[in-house]
Amino acid sequence: MSLVYNADLFIGHDSGPSHIAAALEIPSVIFFGSVNPFFRHLDNNKKVFLQSPCPFAHCYHEIPNSFGQPCRLVGHREAPPCCIHTTDQVIEAITKVYGEVSV
């Protein structure tokens, strides 16, 4: 909690720490897979949600009372396309929420 509280920027997965950062209004870049970000975070104030396009976007929530489901495009064989991001996409997201960074 202290680490997040003292952070200038949060970069990470949809998780408890991402919610702490959001509550503390810390600029955040949050990685999402098949979960609809607006089911987890009420707004995108000071946040950038990283989620690649997918024809079955947000499929995690389509089966009631389940813990998720295999990706319809790749199954369990590899990372779902909605979860794949390039370094440039991450840097662009950081720039949107925090400003220019030197790499």
The structural domains of the chain, with segments of one domain joined by +, span 2-98
Give me the tens of pLDDT residue by residue for the chain, a chain 103 residues long.
Answer: 899 999 999 999 999 999 999 999 999 999 988 888 888 888 888 999 998 888 887 776 555 555 667 788 887 888 888 888 999 999 999 999 988 766 5
- Which alpha helices (H) appear in the chain, and where do they start and end? 2-5, 16-23, 37-40, 87-98
The pair of three-digit structure tokens given for residue 58, joined into one six-digit string: 């947000």
Q: How much is the pTM?
A: 0.81
The pair of three-digit structure tokens given for residue 101, joined into one six-digit string: 């960074």
| DSSP track, 3-56 | HHHT-S-EEEESSHHHHHHHHTT--EEEE-SSS-HHHH-S--TTEEEE----TT
In CATH terms, 2-98 corresponds, of 1.10.645.10, 3.40.50.2000, 3.40.50.300, 3.30.70.260, to 3.40.50.2000
